Structure 1
Amino acid sequence: MAAFQHSSDLNDRAQHLLKVLVEAYIADGQPVGSRTLAKRSGLDLSAATIRNVMADLEEMGYISSPHTSAGRVPTSQGYRLFVDSLLQVRPLESEDVTILQGRLNASRDPNSLIQSASNLLSGITSLTGVVTLPRRNPSAIRQIEFMRLSERQVLVILVFSRNEVQNRIIELETDLSTAELHQAANFLNECLIGKDIHAARHVLLEEMREHRAEMDRLMQAAITLGERAFDGMELHSDQDCIIAGETNLMSYEDLSDIKKLRDLFGAFTRKRDILSLLDKTIQADGVQIFIGREAGYNVFDDCSLVTAPYSLDNEHIGVLGVIGPKRMRYDRVIAVVDLTAKLLGVALQSRS
């Protein structure tokens, strides 16, 4: 795989022509030829010079040539450079700002605000809008106990700070005595009391990574018991995010392949991959953009996701954004997502 190129690897002329090419392709959806670039670039360059620059851009991985056309289209790498270094985000038109402010105000209940935000993101961008529900502070672990049910079957008792108790049965690969289970519980309680599930998993992972060599059998068994005890506890329900405008994507030629659409709609229905991706951005500040494979899920290989966290009491409590083809109006979409996140946070803050 070729090394990623940075804008510093391109001279001003090449950067300008790439910017013009990406903007032309986003606007028209057609491969861009040298004549189009010559007209739109505003540069006094010969067709031969432009073709040479395009050949260099293609060799560096920023653009590609569809088999059926002599023109070029941006690659994911080209879009990434465009978004990071060449894009100028413009302020939203006053009409869009008025619509967002009118629909995202403190007079509405939180559930209505979340639904409105998703619908607005979809309606204003003509893409798919998604908003995760606000997360309350996670419960902390107060106590872990293990009870031997049979040779390789153990009952796990988890007590949390809100007096929540969860019981689950796990299967072991090796038999552990009642005394060994008690020792394992003591070890885990020392490490994990006061931590939420996410932090507990991190501690277990670090313990295994740093001390694997000197761990005895019982300590390894305790770590395994802890991992099994928390396995699946952070799975999201289908109500953890609101998605709107899924069918908008059917109008984009980039996503017109039936299999791609079927896979995308399947992801919208399950929501698991979308939630997992959005979870990764909840601690980020400002707008985050995932282009193609950067999302980490094959189903989004032909898509871009533009996300931003929204906050309450200076704490990020959720994420919103849009999903659409890589050929999207980033200058406008980024502004819509950014303002929607800010307005949603302000509205929720006013209600608290």
Structure 2
Amino acid sequence: MLNDRAQILLKTLVERYISDGQPVGSRALQQFSGLEISPATIRNVMVDLEAMGLVASPHTSAGRIPTALGYRRFIDTLMVVQPLEKIRIQQLEQQFQPDNPSRLLAQASNLLSELTQFAGVVATPNRRAATVRQIEFLRLSERRVLLIIVMPDGEVENRVLLTTRDYSQAQLTEAGNLLSQHYSDCALHDMRLRIKNELRQLQHDMTELMTAAISAGDEALACKGDDYVLSGERNLLHINDLSGDMNRLRKLFNVFEHKTELLQLLDASRHAQGVHIFVGHESGVSSLDECSVVSAPYTANGQIVGTLAVIGPKRMDYQKVVPIVDITARLLGNALSA
């Protein structure tokens, strides 16, 4: 446990280091902490904080910098987040145009990057959980059927089905109505399981059509876009904390390119309540050891469908980044639900 004086000095040290990027000495701490104590007393407190692993002394300076553990203590107990002003939120809200869900994700990613000057990433909605609002079949020719899938967000997917027999338009309409009425708002994955269990109750001549529809729907969703939308990754090239080590930068950009580890991290964030912060090695991704990830899940119609995040150096202004991530997640969710 830290006493009040040690907490104030740690908070001041973290804030000064985030602001200036230079090791913080005892005289700076005396000036900015508001404490009426001598530099010698401050140095003694710094020795204690260093022994606890909260600060470290670079070889080139007598000042201290926060460690990952120091940042974590600051985030958990000392940070004071100021919510964005209402007028600022309204300005941000105007940037979301709910006419196209894919465009919304790109808008959110760009917004995160522009506001923080770091990398902004938005994981696309979980496709296994994608639901369907309406299914229609149109007869094209003797054994060719056009499948039309309408998603809750208004997007339409079309696929041509090749069938083993000829269906009349009346049969196709009946099959579409049956699927839409009984399985609307059901995820395609769940729909497949339900239809498999209920096939015995369906007319035999419709089973092929319905099974083909679900398979085509799965394929359509699997081909939709990337797993996430990334913006502003080049901003990281200009951050001194990261750009001084080209090998580290290459590993970081490999994470963006290969996706798997980053997607696993974003997926883990889906289960967090509100904003979650990973500092350095907490992400479990070795290439992000010198970075922090500030993430939050976003919703559509009350259901969590994805995650967005800001990726930057550990020396980021968390008090500024946290509300930006929080409000962007909420605005994206509102736009997707509109």
SS of 2:83's equivalent in the other structure is: coil
| Aligned equivalent of 1:246 | 233
| Aligned equivalent of 1:75 | 67
Instruction: List aligned pairs for 1:1-352, cutoff 5 A.
Output: 9-93=1-85, 96-106=88-98, 108-136=99-127, 137=129, 139-140=189-190, 142=193, 163-164=214-215, 239-256=226-243, 257-350=245-338
| Aligned equivalent of 1:179 | none
| Aligned equivalent of 1:183 | none
Q: For residues 103 and 254 of structure 1, do their structure 2 counterparts lie closer, same or farther at Cα, with a shift above 3 Å needed? A: same
Q: For residues 290 and 163 of structure 1, do their structure 2 counterparts lie closer, same or farther at Cα, with a shift above 3 Å needed? A: same
Q: Which residue identity is paired with 1:135? A: N
1:74-95 deviation per Cα after TM superposition (whole angstroms, max 9, x unaligned): 0000000100110000122567
CA distance in 2, matches of 1:161, 1:38: 72
SS of 1:311's equivalent in the other structure is: strand
Q: For residues 258 and 348 of structure 1, do their structure 2 counterparts lie closer, same or farther at Cα, with a shift above 3 Å needed? A: same
CA distance in 1, matches of 2:224, 2:51: 45
Query: Cα offset for 1:47?
Result: 0.9
SS of 1:280's equivalent in the other structure is: helix
1:290-315 deviation per Cα after TM superposition (whole angstroms, max 9, x unaligned): 00000001000000000000011221
* TM-score scaled by length of structure 1: 0.69
CA distance in 1, matches of 2:313, 2:212: 44
Gaps in structure 2 of 5+ consecutive residues? 130-186, 197-209, 217-221
Q: Which moved more, 1:93-102 or 1:278-287?
A: 93-102
Q: Which residue identity is paired with 2:126? A: R
Instruction: Say if 1:125 and 1:333, in contact at 8 Å, map to a contact too.
Output: yes
Instruction: Say if 2:118 and 2:235, in contact at 8 Å, map to a contact too.
Output: yes
Instruction: Say if 1:32 and 1:73, in contact at 8 Å, map to a contact too.
Output: yes
Gaps in structure 1 of 5+ consecutive residues? 1-8, 144-158, 166-234
CA distance in 2, matches of 1:86, 1:163: 51
Q: Which residue identity is paired with 2:273? A: D
CA distance in 2, matches of 1:328, 1:160: 51
Q: For residues 266 and 331 of structure 1, do their structure 2 counterparts lie closer, same or farther at Cα, with a shift above 3 Å needed? A: same
Q: Which residue identity is paired with 1:164? A: S
Q: For residues 26 and 236 of structure 1, do their structure 2 counterparts lie closer, same or farther at Cα, with a shift above 3 Å needed? A: farther
CA distance in 2, matches of 1:78, 1:239: 36
- The structure 1 segments of at least 4 consecutive aligned residues displaced by more than 6 Å after TM superposition are 159-162, 235-238
* TM-score scaled by length of structure 2: 0.72
CA distance in 2, matches of 1:302, 1:341: 25
| Aligned equivalent of 2:174 | none
Matched length = 258
Give me the identity figure in percent. 50
Instruction: Say if 1:238 and 1:271, in contact at 8 Å, map to a contact too.
Output: no
Instruction: Say if 1:128 and 1:248, in contact at 8 Å, map to a contact too.
Output: yes
